[in-house]
A and B are shown apart, each in its own frame.
Chain A
């Protein structure tokens, strides 16, 4: 495999917030991101899957330059983020957010919203701005007269297209799609997903697709990383992950995907009603209180990464340490 510099890379990034526990109760550290090393190769779609509290939003903020990691390094095309200022980062990597209703400023016209990056970075002459706005609106499938409208006049799907136009007008290398279709109707979701795929091919983009919808991730992503309480617990090529999920959390996630098959019912994922708390994480493997296959060692030591070619799993069930056979699930 050709070893190319990934477009975006995090190297053992950790982000700790100091959170007040309430009046007179002191401050506790919250490890939102706990030693994450993620490579996003150029031209690929990497899916990041996880539920609330897993740290994916914090990681996205770190990648966008909105949040400084406590330790660790972020590299853009091999160069460390420390050598970039905010505008350089902005030119390379742009976000698309989940909520089309709050991601556009309601007091500005679409033209003003979409052209803002051009005006901030002053990459082109003021006369050219209108032309570029029209070009990008064409590219995302919006009629040109939308430029003079306000966000309140558009539907959710149209607004998300505007958000995409805004993200792409400066031709960034990497786009971070944070749940881009979760707030949209099903029929609009597929339109937007198709658009994202077309644009990736046409503009040679690299995506980090953050989503809790595994069906969407499986469809769009080349590689998938599963995040739990700040760590990546499994990472593999999309096909491999869905055919052969190894980590018990990944299995539970996959079981929870409800495909429209009328013959199947709703599976019992055996996860229990325990609430994973990032301020007070469980000892050892942070998943062990909810794990079906929990063993003694799981509550004592954190598991090491088991790298099996392109498939990485962080679980005591895998790797050289496992001597006893797997307990029946």
Chain B
């Protein structure tokens, strides 16, 4: 039913041993996704968002250690599932769409072959039903003359078409949750709009949950119901989309928004806002707010800041020392 909780994650952590010590790319994030809801996880490179999606699917590298207080999918605790049980979930209930349509499809097999294989492996070994479903979904994602496309190889299709095929593949078994990791970054801007429009339509029609991971705040604003802003492995701000964009409370979020040129709003020729510095190293013992070396409001207390976020009434929360009244002051 729409509105049911599909995914509930509490305090997810990922640690990876490296030669210099222990790397902590994900340091305790929590979120949930309901049916019919779109959650956007936004952050820049190195914030841990891709590893978060991989850890949900159980696709982390072998040396990585995943821990969570709670990791419930469709009411079931998936923290300690064996690989075979996770494989049964992947593609069936939980599907992933990757960034690079060029490399996500196997160049040695036809589109039809790859689509049907998902169905045959997980649902039932009925070739005709698999083919029918493949054609149905290809048409749903906007690919005309779907039947003839089944015999084509990935290299014969453009990037936009390949990504549509990826989406169709993700839908073959009617999943409850789709995780899309930067699905449009490698595509042209008009194709990007089409793919996002398509994803939103399909989500409504199939009543799925959608987690969209991206670095593009424009996409987030247009697509998300809920937003999670990640920095250095932690959530720095989260909440309903409108609340976060209208009143960004964390200096990183407001800093990022100032960096983006908006036609009509930002003054042409004037310098854009910027967030100076670079992402810190996440190896070893990390304490306090990791944004403090780039933050214009940094104070002494930031070095020992705890994990508890300040929560507002509408579900909007942020982790920063500055109280909400101060955070809402417009920058000079």
Contacts and interface: CB of A to CB of B under 8 A. Distances in A.
A24 B315 CA distance: 64
A162 B191 CA distance: 32
Contacts of A264: 221-222
Contacts of B269: 197, 219
Contacts of B241: 262
A123 B142 CA distance: 58
Contact of B189 (A155, A214, A268): A214
A260 B276 contact: no
Given A187-B274, A273-B160, A212 B189 contact: yes
B263 A258 contact: no
Contacts of B215: 185-186
Nearest to B262: A259
Contacts of B328: none
Nearest to A239: B268
A189 B197 contact: no
Contact of B261 (A156, A187, A216, A239): A216
A194 interface: yes
Contacts of A80: none
A190 B188 contact: no
A259 B222 CA distance: 8
A39 B191 CA distance: 29
Interface string B237-275: 000011011100000000111111111111011011111
Contacts of B188: 51-52, 212
Contact of B217 (A156, A186, A265): A186
B300 interface: no
A261 B264 CA distance: 12
A262 B316 CA distance: 15
Contacts of A268: 193-194, 197
Nearest to A215: B261
B256 A267 contact: no
Interface stretch (A87-95, A104-112, A248-256): A248-256
Nearest to B241: A262
B216 to A, nearest CB: 7
B324 interface: no
Contact of A262 (B44, B200, B221): B221
Contacts of B245: 260-262
Contacts of B16: none
Contacts of A256: 189-190, 192-193
Contacts of A242: 263-264
Given A157-B278, A194-B274, A215 B193 contact: no
Interface string B173-207: 00000000000000011111110110010000000
Contacts of A261: 221-222, 245
Interface in A213-272: 213-216, 218-220, 238-239, 242, 252-253, 255-269, 271-272
B193 A267 contact: yes
Contacts of A255: 193
A275 interface: yes
B120 interface: no
A191 interface: yes
Contacts of A267: 193, 197
B164 A273 contact: yes
A273 B142 contact: yes
Given A186-B215, A259-B218, A266-B197, A213 B189 contact: yes
A265 B265 CA distance: 19
B143 interface: yes
B287 interface: no
Contacts of B260: 186, 190, 215, 260
A198 B274 CA distance: 14
A220 B273 CA distance: 14
Interface of B: 44-45, 142-144, 157-161, 164, 188-194, 196-197, 200, 215-224, 241-242, 244-246, 255-266, 268-269, 271-276, 278
Enumerate the 7 nearest inter-chain pairs by beta-carbon distance, A residue then B residue, closest first.
A258-B218, A219-B261, A187-B275, A51-B188, A190-B259, A190-B272, A256-B193
